[in-house]
């Protein structure tokens, strides 16, 4: 039998050359499932590794839209429909100049494993555009969303593929995308999640990813006889995930020391307060302000939060590969040995290995940030039954989903040096579920 690593590396080199982020995501998962793979001949017989790595399809299209000054602009749009083994394709849309096929393949691949962990019937997908909404007017963003949907609509549907938000796509953009979809189709259906609750969105969806991170973290701490109360937390990012993680952490009596954006870090020496959250939510989410202009906290231009020394927990909630090996060394040197990922793949390969080798408590993104897609799943249920549930119900469901995800992460692993290897456990769980479905569904 060929060397395990060769199987997927050769395949990736041949079929997805230059897709660095995608290679990184595949390697991270496959290295953890090596023993599992060798323990069952069926996996080789049915060629599950190559089939898992290859997306069902990648749709790429031109998005042509008009700027306020009348100039005609072009962007590229994509939807990567990765696997629908467990349900309709499901995953967010990202608008950011760094978006390319490699980034979307990594996100789509991760999403398949994340969605498997939720226990809900959801496949994996991801999409978006290299469109940069920074500096655009509200009308320009609306016209872009409409042009994007004029191409995407033919590939999605409430039982086919159900996109949602991600970086720079919040409920405002989902509203524009949804409006265009129902206009074209003359049909109201739950084709997108993350909608405004006033027209079919789920209450609690906006908060769900950040709150879910904190619920997962609490479960992780409890399983190691620790608690969240009074722990000092470093958060990166200041978008939807970061701010809601901060709010829930404050409500749980933890001390939030920082948030950040791509320009620098906002440091709260005595911890952020709920009033600060309200101010920042309005400033960042509604007004799209930059942290350097936020008139609270101390702004550290060009710095990442990881240089702050007196902390206990790190929550990277901005973007992929934002925390590198040097940052990991700095955190570990400062005694910070608990880390939970709010963003998707926020650690470089080197940083991740450093944390795992240091026997740190490490909550992987596909488990810790799955609360968002899970409440998207609840939004689909509400749309299907033409009903809406109240926030108490959603919050209870979210807490129980995050506890179940935690338990699934440790279902196939034991503590090593008194620490559960959550990342390995999450990868094995997702692999068994996806590979099992693939074999059961035959060669298709
Ligand atoms: P937002 O657009 O709301 O916020 C993104 C934040 O990350 C902003 O503060 C942004 O700062 C910062 N950021 C983006 N790119 C960079 C960069 N290159 N360097 C430093 N900071 C950067 O997005 P979300 O909060 O929704 O998403 C954050 C992460 O969470 C992403 O990885 C996303 O995939 C993941 N996620 C999101 C879910 C959701 O429900 N929204 C669900 C699960 C995961 P700036 O404005 O300066 O760019
Ligand atoms: O990365 C993610 O899980 C998301 N961006 C949310 C996807 C969703 O369908 O709610």
Residue 3 confidence class, pLDDT cut points 50, 70, 90: confident
Predicted pLDDT of residue 1:
61
Q: How far apart are CA 357 and CA 191, in angstroms?
A: 42
> Tokens standing for 430?
């997702």
Three-class DSSP category at 106: helix
Nearest to 317 by CA among 237, 371, 373: 237
Average pLDDT over residues 257-268: 98
Two tokens at 338? Answer: 């608990």
The tokens for 61 are 């299209």
Q: In the structure, what pLDDT confidence band is assigned to residue 312 with cuts at 50, 70 and 90?
A: very high
Give the percent of the chain with pLDDT over 90: 99
Q: If you ran DSSP here, which 8-state letter would residue 201 be given?
A: P
Do the domains spanning 57-201 and 206-368 agree at the CATH topology level? yes
For the CA atoms of 301, 302, 306, 310, the dihedral, rounded to the nearest 10 degrees, stands at: -20
The rounded distance, in Å, linking the Cα atoms of 173 and 243 is 19
Rounded alpha-carbon distances, angstroms, from residue 101 to 81, 340, 385: 12, 26, 35
> From ligand 2's centre to the CA of 29, what distance in Å?
19
Q: Please tell me the predicted confidence (pLDDT) of residue 211.
A: 99
Give this prediction's pTM. Answer: 0.98
pLDDT tops 90 at residue 2: no
Q: What is the mean pLDDT of residues 250-261?
A: 98
Checking DSSP bridges between strand 72-83 and strand 57-66, what pairing results, if any? antiparallel
Nearest CA, atom 10, ligand 2:
373
Partner residues linked to 255 by β-bridges: 232
266 lines ligand 1 (CB under 6 A): no
Q: How far, in Å, CA of 103 to CA of 106, rounded?
A: 5
Best probe residue, ligand 2, of 91, 93, 105, 167 (max atoms within 8 Å of C-beta)? 91
Architecture of domain 206-368: 3-Layer(aba) Sandwich (3.40)
φ and ψ of 108, to 5 deg: -65, -40
Kindly report the protein residue whose alpha carbon is nearest to atom 5 of ligand 1.
239
Q: What is the pLDDT of residues 146-190, one digit of tens each?
A: 999 999 999 999 999 999 999 999 999 999 999 999 999 999 999
Its sign, for the CA torsion 349, 352, 358, 364, is: negative
126 alpha carbon, closest ligand: 2
| Cα–Cα distance measured from residue 363 to residue 77, given in angstroms and rounded to the nearest whole number | 32
Give the pLDDT score at 234.
98
Are 425 and 238 in contact, with CB atoms under 8 Å apart?
no
The Cα–Cα gap between 131 and 133 comes to 6
Answer yes or no: 126 catalytic: yes
Ligand 1: does its nearest atom lie under 6 Å from the Cβ of 262?
yes
- 370-386 pLDDT, tens digit per residue, is 999 999 999 999 999 99
Q: How far is the CA of 372 from the centre of ligand 2 (A)?
A: 6
- Fold held by 57-201: Rossmann fold (3.40.50)
| Residue owning tokens 């050769």 | 10
Instruction: Single out the catalytic residue among 126, 231, 247, 354.
Output: 126
CA distances from 388 to 165, 202, 360, 394 (A): 20, 7, 41, 10
Measure 343 CA to ligand 1 centroid, in angstroms: 7
Residues in the chain: 444
- Delimit the domains of the chain by residue range: 1-53+424-444, 57-201, 206-368
pLDDT tens-digit profile of 72-87? 999 999 999 999 999 9
Structure tokens that stand for 177 in this block: 């995308």
**Average per-residue pLDDT in the chain?**
98
Out of 376, 378, 401, mutate this one to test ligand 2's pocket (max ligand atoms within 8 Å of CB): namely 376
CB neighbour list of residue 186: distance below 8 Å, 6 or more residues apart: none
* CA torsion through residues 344, 22, 172, 134, sign: positive
Helices 371-384 and 205-222, axial angle in degrees (round to 10): 130
Which of 89, 92, 213, 320, when mutated, tests ligand 2's pocket best, judged by the most ligand atoms within 8 Å of its CB?
92
Mean pLDDT of 107-112: 99
- Look at residues 28, 53, 85, 11 and name the one whose alpha carbon lies nearest to residue 427: 28
């Amino acid at each position: 039998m060929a060397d395990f690593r060769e199987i997927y590396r050769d395949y990736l080199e041949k079929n997805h050359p230059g897709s660095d982020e995608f290679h990184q995501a595949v390697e991270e998962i496959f290295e953890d499932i090596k023993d599992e793979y060798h323990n069952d001949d069926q996996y080789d017989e049915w060629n599950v590794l190559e089939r898992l790595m290859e997306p069902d399809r990648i749709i790429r299209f031109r998005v042509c839209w008009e700027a306020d000054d009348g100039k005609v602009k072009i962007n590229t749009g994509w939807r990567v429909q990765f696997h629908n083994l467990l349900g309709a394709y499901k995953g967010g849309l990202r608008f950011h100049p760094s978006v390319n096929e490699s980034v979307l393949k990594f996100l789509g691949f991760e999403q398949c494993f994340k969605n498997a962990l939720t226990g809900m019937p959801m496949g994996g997908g991801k999409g978006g555009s290299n469109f940069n909404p920074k500096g655009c007017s509200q009308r320009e963003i609306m016209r872009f969303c409409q042009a994007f949907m004029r191409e995407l609509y033919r590939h999605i549907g409430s039982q086919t593929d159900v996109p949602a938000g991600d970086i720079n796509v919040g409920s405002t953009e989902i509203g524009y995308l949804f409006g265009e979809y129902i206009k074209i189709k003359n049909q109201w259906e739950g084709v997108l999640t993350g909608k405004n609750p006033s027209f079919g969105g789920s209450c609690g969806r906006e908060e769900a990813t950040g709150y879910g991170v904190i619920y997962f973290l609490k479960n992780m701490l409890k399983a190691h006889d620790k608690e969240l109360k009074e722990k000092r937390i470093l958060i990166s990012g200041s978008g939807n995930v970061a701010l809601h993680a901060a709010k829930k952490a404050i409500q749980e009596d933890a001390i939030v020391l920082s948030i950040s954006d791509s320009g620098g870090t906002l440091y709260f020496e005595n911890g952020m307060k709920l009033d600060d959250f309200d101010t920042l939510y309005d400033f960042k989410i509604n007004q799209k302000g930059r942290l350097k202009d936020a008139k609270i906290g101390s702004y550290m231009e060009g710095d990442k939060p990881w240089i702050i020394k007196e902390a206990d927990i790190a929550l990277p909630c901005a973007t992929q590969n934002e925390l590198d090996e040097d940052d990991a060394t700095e955190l570990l040197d400062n005694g910070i040995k608990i880390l939970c990922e709010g963003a998707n793949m926020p650690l470089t390969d080197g940083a991740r290995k450093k944390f795992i080798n240091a026997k740190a408590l490490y909550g992987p993104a596909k488990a810790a940030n799955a609360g968002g897609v899970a409440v998207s799943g609840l939004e689909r249920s509400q749309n299907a039954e033409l009903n809406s549930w109240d926030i108490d119900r959603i919050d209870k469901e979210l807490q129980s989903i995050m506890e179940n995800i935690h338990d699934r992460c440790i279902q196939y692993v034991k503590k090593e040096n008194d620490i559960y290897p959550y990342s390995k456990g999450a990868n094995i769980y997702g692999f068994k579920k996806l590979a099992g479905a693939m074999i059961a569904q035959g060669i298709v």
